[in-house]
Structure 1
Amino acid sequence: MRKPLIVATVLVGLGLVFFLASRAGEPGDKESNPVTASAAGTVPQPESPEDLGARGTADAGSTPLLAQVPTQEDGVLEVEVVAGGQPVPGASVRLYWRGARDPNLDEVSWRLASTGTTDAKGRVRLASRPGSYLVAVHAPGHAALRRDVVRPLGEALTHLRLTLEAGQSLTGRTVVGRRNEPLPMVELVLTAHGRELELWQRAEAPAEERVYASSDERGNFRVDGLAPGGYLLEARAPGYARKVLRQVKVPTEGPLTVALEEAGVIEGFVEDSRGRPASGAEVQVGSRGASQVVTTGEGGGFSVEVEAGIHVLSARRGDEAGSLDKPVVVSMGKTVRDVRLRLGPGATLEGLVVAKSSGAPVAGAHVDVSPLGNSGDSGRAVTDDTGHFSVSGLAPGSYDVVVNAPGFTQLIRSGPTVAPGERFFLELHLSGSGAVEGHVRDAAGQPVAGARVVGGSTGDASAEARSDAEGAYRIEGLSTGVQYFRASRKGAALGATRSVEVTEGGKARLDFTLEETGTVEGLVRSASGPLPSEPLSVLVFAEARNGAGPSSMGRTEVDASGNFRLTLPEGSYRMHVIPTEGRISHTPQPKLVQVEAGKTVRAELTWKEGTRNAYTVQGIVLEPDGMPSPGAEVTLSTQAPLFLMAMALTDEEGRFTLSPPSRKELADARATLNVRNGARGAEVADVRLGEQNVVVKLRPATTLRGRVVRADGQPVRRFSLLSQPVSRQTGRAQAEREFQGDRFELRDVPAAPVKLMAWTEDGASGEAQVTPTYEAAAEVLLTLKSTAGVRGRVVDETTKQPIAEAHVFVEGDRYSNKRSGPDGSFLLEGLPAGEQTLAVSFGMFRSTAHTVTLVEGQVLDLGDIVLPTPRTNAGTIGAYLLQGGDELVIGQMIPDGPAARAGLRSGDTLLAVDGTPVTDYLDAMQLLNGAPGSTVVLEVRRAGTKRTISITRAT
């Protein structure tokens, strides 16, 4: 009897789709630095307390000076500028310090550190402290060049050689999306990629170092004088949503088409507390990506253009403020009218900022307040000499409070929830920063010079360092706690990732071992017709050896001819072709590639643009008011005869396409659609595969109220609350919120079973499950009890050595997840008392579970937890298969299993089993499994060569 086939048309889990849809950044072109650091790293740059926000006190379009101007005694960056191998005298060179990211505006706080002009030898010396900088060079007759550079710790002089080139042109046209009609007078802003960007980063530069242009009356544009390389392009036009292209290459092989979609519009009114029009009120419209502020007119009305999506609105005027209870959903080209906000007494967030270690007040700390989980400038303050601050005029709702102070770890307090007129007091404890240092070596123990070490956090961004000639590096000013770092060879897309515990005032040790690298030269072909005009990327995933630890992920761009090139450490990789911009609406077929050190391997990938088949389901998702719902999550699942799951996001018009695999077993299958957009949701059962006009109307969110009490009768004066759906199909957990007193109200929760978890600072906690309905607000009572904890150490079954980075969690509790430390130890706190299941896993093949009984107020010590050695089931070969189109590829293998011992490798393409050609997963698994101890012969293709491998099945 055939086992059920599990098909997931979700790219490496649902999370990656959202990650790619909401985050950005690709590796940019860079200039090499011929001098390595004796001790590389970055430290925070002190700034004055009055210098607030990303823009500081500078005029629009300019960058303020550093509050403390550096001198030659602080260190020097020597920039050598050449062109055609000859020095360039008289070039203007500016050095901008990359400061903290403004928590409210989500912008880098650039500061001008030094300026100078190159001498007759093309050199200029710029005073600069250790840190991360952007250097900009302007010279007549050459394209302006912008590059990032790290001034490392312990190095008095850093040398950077930059080569200027003739300017290149970028031509193209701006059009109305979908209709492809010319769109005139579009504003264009180009930002050069000046550094190696992580996947979550985007290109950024000070305002005066961006390039500005516009299209003409026919929609055509031409931008001259650009340096070769990658650019982020932003396009804006009245009545249209902002368009961002994150990877524009200069020069291009042809004109660039920039398509803008019609913007949505929110129209509404603001009233004062007496119901009168509130003219001159500031209306803040925020989303996860951006925020903007408009002012009401004489009649209290306002109108604002927004991108399709979910938006949070609030308003304030003087001491009054107000907000909407629920977010506004806007679809492309649609107008949401009659949105009304009523002002009332504004709330205040006030408090005290102290050093955690000493309790001493911290003066000059920046306190930034923004809407919970969204961008927006709700208020700012700087602590006085006693460490106190106050931010008033807040609309009722939940906020993020971010605190930064030189020499301290950034603190984020998420979820303080204020009522009209309430004064909410916070005592905020700042921890000091720490440092990480170590060596980067190769497998033979030799130092790797010039390796890039990136990760950790200085509170607002990842830190970066370069290893010196001895392979040493150092990074200071790091946030305390467990931090992750990645080391990679120069030019390599991936490297080694490790974690370390950073302590206040301490220097943690973290060494890396890097594999030798090889090269992948690839070509992307279209399954039908030419490649799309839109840019494509290749995502690459490195499976950890022996299935231990998480996969690493990188990305590179595909040129107009379909070519790409990657430098990767030796190992096996999965590669997918995806659109660089926009959402992923289908499952990219993987290509498995084996990289060998010092060698170049060719790889061909196939681009299929949402290939439709007889089982493709299409439809539209509507909001409760009948408007299209952009960005909704649509999940399709079947149970018989196959278990299948597919997922997509709706586009700007609320439409979706789901294309499950074309298999004969699905001919009579029926599917269920689960749809969520925030707290609004719907479920549609008995959907016929192949249906083209499914209409899903979301049901509205509802309200949940309640009270929190202690089991011992003591009053509750402050508590935190988390709302988590019981079923993953009904949405995600809401952000944590913090309340004063003993009552709460949540106005945007799904009408589905949810689990509420409440806790206090003194360690008491409680849970309750409730099912809100659409008809009326649900009431719930939570009783708090003392919590429990569990500790232990994860060790290997065979060697008894500690296992670091093991995943430890309590089943059913998503927020107890921890990783074991370098000594294998772990501690889970804040757990409910009673019988619980503690799970421990390491990689894909090693896991164990233990039933434990936890007691209130106590921490259970389990001692050593033995993680068993992976074992192969009898009659199997210990290898997993991946279906890549019509190809079957060997995925991960059980360490020291039959397949691994016989010489099979991850990335091998499986051609035949015992002489029978195979292209189907189910057929191949039937042939691979057999009698324990019997022999099976595999024909595989590796690096273009066919070979035969005999494997003895496990007994």
Structure 2
Amino acid sequence: MQPPALRHDTPRRWPLWCAVAALALAAFLLFRPKHDAPTAARREPAAAQKRSGYVNRTQWRARAAHPAEPAPEAPSISGTVYDLTGAPLAGAAVSATTFEVAGNFPTTASSVQTDGDGRFELRVPNGTYNLVGNKEGYGPTMAIAHSGDDLALVLPRSGVVKGHVYNERKEPITRFTVDVIALSPDSTAALAPLSSKRFEGPDGAFHIDQLPGWAVILRVTASDYAPAFSSLVHTKADETRDVELTLTSGCALTGTVRDERGAPVAGVFLDAEARHSAGVASQGSMDAASEAQSDLDGRFRLEHVPAGEILVRGYAGGYATSTASVQISGCDDLAPIDLVMSAGGSIAGVVRGSDGKPAAGVRLMASHRSIGFVNTVTDAEGRYRIEQLPPVLVRLELIDTAQRTVVHVGVKDGETVEQNLALLAKGSGEIRGRVTSGGEPLRGLQVQVVCNQADSGLDMHYLTTGGDGTYRATDLPDGTYMVFVSSTMRASSAHVRGGSVAEVNLDLVEQPKPADAAVVPASATNH
């Protein structure tokens, strides 16, 4: 995954670390829908699949003041949906998803429609969620939101993709679903389809008019077939693209799930992901629409798996996520998969505020495609610990109101990695500016001001535009910053040196076109 193409209002050259930072910022999802909806999470699994014992760790568990009292009600997630002119959009669908079944298996927590003023409110348990905003004829967008957030989603007008779906004999598929998928890096939680639509007809034709302003992949699923994936597709609002997709029956993957002692593990929820390249240096995974559960002997069988590089993931209570990789070029002589479940590794440390003192009650969020969101809160001494993590590079975010720090931590199986975090000390610099659309000010948009502070991690500041479209980030340390407008492709750079003031104005009408790589908007990756 590559960062979005940027329009620089300050110096055009961006240091090499910016590309790394933009990639690191990438953080956001929903999956194979089984019904018509503008956006939908993956279907609910069978009752047997729910018995894996997997625990959803996306929530922050609030404690009551007294044991006999109920926990306080979680603050809602609210916001406004706009079009690119800055007008509020009524009747737009906004969905929030969580991970009730598995860390890479998003399920819908709540879904609402915006009112006449474009406003929405999602009442969900206290935690972290993926949001998707959608409306017929508009390009969908997405964001990560925490309970209590109030944010804006901006929907541009959509282009059109039309085409046909056939089987290997060039016969039309008469009933199928098309999902619009954004590819994201592995360090982010699995992304939901931006839109999903079911089609029925004798000629296998489809027509999609809910496409975002960046490159996406179309996924087609149908009963008794492996999913098919398009190449990267990008359309402008006035463009129509033709795409033809062919479904095959795919292959069956079999294997056994064992623990570290070699004993079979029953009841493990398993699914398959297809790996996809997005440019020269980046890859991502997508749901391959195949699920199973291990039997009493630990055996499993995944049907209709597509060709290519496939990741098989296993989820069960008391274990970290386990992943096995297999390359499928044909269905003959596929070796059984041996999936080993373990307790995984841990990340632990002390969190300090910008004053250097241990910070109690501070929220932290770990994310990776295989785990979704894992949240925790520091204790009275500022300590935290996150367990049962797979041996992967985890994105760890310290969340403190409008300022956040992000680092990436390599987890090691069977070990505890010590990772202390701190909010950066205040500086004397400032970045300010105005967000407009065709010259008209936009109110209530979230602006993210982000700087890579090397070993200290990403220093992130969150601001909201006022009635005249202006924003202001103060007390900034020296550094080179990226300024993002949430849920859009607009971004620019600014330099702060010796308490200087930088001005960055952004207009949303001229959305930059991405290169030949799948990208997601800033709000989906930085938040």
TM-score interval, normalised by the smaller of the two chains: 0.5 to 0.7
Question: Counterpart of 1:429?
Answer: 246
- Larger % of strand: which? 1
Question: What RMSD in Å do the two structures reach over aligned CA positions?
Answer: 6.0
Distance (Å, rounded) in 1 between the aligned partners of 2:406 and 2:328: 39
Q: TM-score, normalised by structure 2?
A: 0.58
> How far does residue 399 in structure 1 lie from its aligned partner after superposition?
8.9
**CA pair 204-503 structure 1, distance change in 2 beyond 3 A:** farther
> C-alpha deviations, 1:187-213, integer Å up to 9, x for none?
xx9999784431x554437xxxxxxxx
Aligned to 2:26: 18
Matched, 1:620 2:524: no
Alpha-carbon separation, structure 2, partners of 1:522 and 1:393: 46
Q: Secondary structure at the match of 1:623?
A: strand
Cα shift at 1:698: 3.1
Change in CA separation of 1:565 and 1:622 when aligned onto 2, cut-off 3 Å = same
Corresponding residue SS for 1:289: strand
What do the CA deviations read for 1:831-888 (whole angstroms, capped 9, x no partner)? xxxxxxxxxxxxxxxxxxxxxxxxxxxxxxxxxxxxxxxxxxxxxxxxxxxxxxxxxx
Code of the residue aligned with 1:619 in structure 2: it is I
The answer to whether 1:415 aligns with 2:415 is no
Specify the code of the residue in structure 1 equivalent to 2:176: A
Work out the CA distance in 1 between the residues paired with 2:37 and 2:74: 34
| Match in the other structure for 1:364 | 175
User: Are the equivalent residues in 2 in contact too, given 1:370–1:399 (CA < 8 A)?
Assistant: yes
Query: Following TM superposition, by how much is the alpha carbon of 1:631 offset from its aligned partner in structure 2, in angstroms?
Result: 5.4
User: Between Structure 1 and Structure 2, whose CA radius of gyration is higher?
Assistant: 1
Partners in 2 of 1:149 and 1:511 — Cα distance?
A: 22
Distance (whole Å) between structure 1 residues aligned to residue 343 and residue 363 of structure 2: 24
8 Å Cα contact 1:516/1:569 also seen in 2: no
Output aligned runs, 1:299-338, within 5 Å.
307-313=151-157
SS of match in other structure, 2:205: strand
Match of 1:652 among 464, 467, 473: 464
- Matched letter for residue 698 of structure 1: L
Query: How much does 1:484 deviate?
Result: 1.3
Alignment partner of 2:340 out of 514, 519, 528: 514
1:578 partner letter: L
Q: Distance in 2 between matches of 1:570 and 1:388?
A: 41
- CA 1:690–1:574 in 2, change beyond 3 Å: closer, same or farther? farther
Please report how far the alpha carbon of residue 107 of structure 1 lies from its aligned counterpart in structure 2 after TM superposition. Answer: 0.9
Q: How far apart are the structure 1 equivalents of 2:75 and 2:489?
A: 36
The alpha carbon displacement at 1:246 in A equals 6.5
Note closer, same or farther for the CA distance 1:193–1:23 as it changes in structure 2 (3 Å cut): closer
Aligned-partner residue type, residue 40 of structure 2: E
| Residue 289 (structure 1) aligned with residue 142 (structure 2) | yes
Mark the CA change 1:172 to 1:428 in structure 2 (over 3 Å): closer, same or farther: closer
Equivalent residue letter for 2:248:
S
Question: Which of the pair has the greater relative contact order for Cα pairs under 8 Å at 6+ separation?
Answer: 2
The alpha-carbon distance between structure 1 residues 595 and 169, as it changes in their structure 2 partners (threshold 3 A), is same
Answer yes or no: is the 8 Å Cα contact 1:104–1:375 preserved in 2: no
Pairwise mapping of residues 845-856 of structure 1 onto structure 2 (< 5 A)? none
Is 1:389 paired with 2:205?
yes
Partner of 1:473: 300
Paired residue for 1:500? Answer: 326
Residue 813 (structure 1) aligns with = none
In the TM superposition, residue 595 of structure 1 has moved relative to its aligned partner by 3.9
1:289, 1:396 → 2: CA distance? 10
1:105 is aligned to 2:38? yes
Cα distance, 1:504 vs structure 2 = 6.4
Choose which of 485, 500, 523 in structure 1 pairs with 2:312: 485
1:694 and 2:502 are equivalent in the alignment = yes
Which of 98, 102, 112 is 1:197 aligned to?
102
Match of 1:556 in 2: 374
Alignment of 1:730-769 (within 5 A): 733=517
User: Which of 51, 54, 73 pairs up with 1:172?
Assistant: 73
C-alpha deviations, 1:366-393, integer Å up to 9, x for none?
A: 457899998457x764230xx3426499
TM-score, structure 1 as length reference: 0.35
Is the contact made by 1:410 and 1:459 (CA closer than 8 Å) also made in structure 2? no
Unpaired runs of at least 5, structure 1: 1-6, 25-97, 112-131, 136-146, 151-166, 178-188, 206-231, 250-257, 259-281, 291-305, 315-322, 324-346, 542-550, 661-669, 705-721, 725-731, 737-955
Using the TM superposition, give the Cα deviation of residue 312 of structure 1 relative to its aligned residue in structure 2, in angstroms. Answer: 1.2
Contact 2:179/2:193 (8 A) holds in 1: no
Distance 2:386 2:114 in 1: 34
Q: What SS does structure 2 have at the residue aligned with 1:313?
A: coil
- Contact 1:284/1:376 (<8 A) preserved: no
For the residue of structure 1 that corresponds to 2:23, the secondary structure is: helix
Q: 1:17-416 maps to which residues of 2 (within 5 A)? A: 17-19=25-27, 22-23=28-29, 100=33, 105-108=38-41, 132-133=45-46, 148-149=50-51, 169=70, 171-172=72-73, 195-198=100-103, 201-204=105-108, 241-242=119-120, 248=126, 284-289=137-142, 307-313=151-157, 351-356=163-168, 358-366=169-177, 375=194, 381-384=199-202, 387-389=203-205, 391=207, 402-413=219-230, 415=233
**Kept in 2: contact 1:353–1:429 (CA 8 A):** yes
Shift of 1:102: 5.5
SS in 1 for 2:504: strand
Per-residue deviation, residues 396-429 of structure 1 (Å, max 9, x unmatched): 9999755332122333445375997x98655432
Q: Where do 1:635-646 residues align within 5 Å?
A: 636=451
C-alpha distance in 1 between matches for 2:492 and 2:461: 15
Find the counterpart in structure 1 of residue 256 from structure 2: 439
Task: Give SS of 1:204's match.
Answer: strand
Cα pair 1:286 1:374 within 8 Å, conserved:
no
Q: Evaluate the alpha carbon distance shift between residue 633 and residue 469 of structure 1 in structure 2; reply closer, same or farther with a 3 A threshold.
A: same
Q: Are the equivalent residues in 1 in contact too, given 2:391–2:411 (CA < 8 A)? A: no
Q: Is the 8 A contact 1:635 1:646 kept in 2?
A: yes
In structure 2, C-alpha distance between the alignment counterparts of 1:312 and 1:362, rounded to whole Å: 31
Identity %: 17
Residue 578 of structure 1 corresponds to: 398
Distance 1:100 1:392 in 2: 15
Contact 1:9 1:587 in 2 (8 A): no
Aligned partner of 1:80 in structure 2 is none
CA distance in 2, matches of 1:723, 1:192: 27
Cα pair 1:613 1:659 within 8 Å, conserved: yes
Structure 2 distance, partners of 1:590, 1:245, is: 32
> AA paired with 1:455?
A
Q: Which residue of 1 aligns with 2:360?
A: 531
Q: Is the 8 A contact 1:431 1:480 kept in 2?
A: no
Q: Distance in 2 between matches of 1:365 and 1:190?
A: 23
- Shift of residue 683 of structure 1? 4.4
2:36 and 2:112 mapped to 1: Cα distance? 22
- CA offsets per residue over residues 40-99 of structure 1, 9 Å max, x none? xxxxxxxxxxxxxxxxxxxxxxxxxxxxxxxxxxxxxxxxxxxxxxxxxxxxxxxxxx97
How many aligned positions are there? Answer: 431
Pairwise CA distance, 1:696:
1.0
Unaligned runs of 5+ in 2: 1-14, 53-67, 79-93, 129-134, 144-149, 184-191, 275-284, 466-470, 521-527
| Counterpart check, 1:611 vs 2:424 | yes
Q: Deviations 1:630-650 (Å, cap 9, x if unpaired)? A: 455655579xxx999956465
- Give the Å deviation of 1:233: 10
Deviations 1:743-777 (A, max 9, x none): xxxxxxxxxxxxxxxxxxxxxxxxxxxxxxxxxxx
